[in-house]
Amino acid sequence: MSLFWRIFVLNAFGLVVAAALLLGPVTVSTPILPGEVLVVVAGLAALLTVNAVVLRVGLAPLGRLGRAMADADLLHPGVRAVVSGPVETAELITTYNAMLDRLEAERAASAAGALSAQERERHRIARELHDEVGQTLTAVLLQLKRVADRAPADLREELGQAQEATRAGLDEIRRIARRLRPGVLDELGLLSALRSLAAEFTTHGLTVRHDLRTGLPPLTEETELVLYRVAQEALTNTARHSGADRAELRVRPIADGVELLVRDNGSGLGTAADAGAGIRGMRERALLIGATLTLSSTPDGSGGGPRGTDVRLRATASADRPDVAAPGGHR
């Protein structure tokens, strides 16, 4: 029954009963007698109480819907309001849930397009850095060497410093190009790319241990790229913000796919679990492939030490793509 008819029937019933009583055994005298006052007040109180109960029960689903709308977050999909209450309220909640379905589908599609465009742009910039700027600096380095070979002795030291600065710039450009588009991911597979990533962060002051299990189930190119990018972003956050000196990078097969874990011994998440653009980007990448991303702070294994951060991504394997082994049995 709709909320309108519930309230209408209740009020009609109360008025009919009151009219029947007034036309029957109950009368109102002038002046009003104390007993009559008691009957009228009791009847009014009963009618108001029942009205209040009906309204409270009928409007409770709207309150739950309001809380669900306030807590809705498209980065945490799948949460829906429970359909209950009168017809109008149930229809409103059903419409809201359908709207969330559309919004999540549209967000997933737009995120896929944006991330795909981002990867294409990264690929283009990496190629131009490697092919254009890298070759230019290589030519400058060769030219400096030729000049240094013919230069007077008092200028060779300065030319050597210029060579070292150019070589350092060339190495930095190559490192940036690798981070923008890891060629090893395309050439040797996911595990080799993750080993290279761990080694890269280890050389920048963070000790990264890796446990990369072989025998992973078949994964699409998009899934491998998301796993790599999430690991890269998690290690970047660890190096920049956590104050950690140790980190672990693990990949292992699970029942329906693969699990990636990045763990550090830093200061933990604190109140910034969803504040950073990096974490938001990881969540959007996880949504792109239907994976589950969880972030948590955990005590250090030694007990009583600093709190670390776990970044865990669980992705479903693809049955559409055969497994391709990299050299040495690794993907």
Helices (H), the chain: 3-23, 34-71, 87-128, 134-150, 153-180, 183-188, 190-202, 221-237, 277-288
- The 3 state secondary structure assigned to 261-327 is EEEECCCCCCCCCCCCHHHHHHHHHHHHCCCEEEEEEEECCCCCCCEEEEEEEEEECCCCCCCCCCH
The model's pLDDT over 222-262, given as tens digits with 9 standing for 90+, comes to: 888 889 989 988 888 888 877 788 889 999 998 888 999 99
- 104 to each of 112, 116, 143, how far by Cα in Å? 12, 18, 56
Domains and CATH numbers, the chain: 3-105 (no CATH), 183-331 (3.30.565.10)
The model's pLDDT over 1-30, given as tens digits with 9 standing for 90+, comes to: 666 677 777 777 877 777 777 666 666 666
Question: CA end-to-end span of the chain, whole Å?
Answer: 60
Q: CA 104 to CA 98: how far, in whole Å?
A: 10
Q: Which span out of 40-49, 104-113, 133-142 was modeled with the highest average pLDDT?
A: 133-142
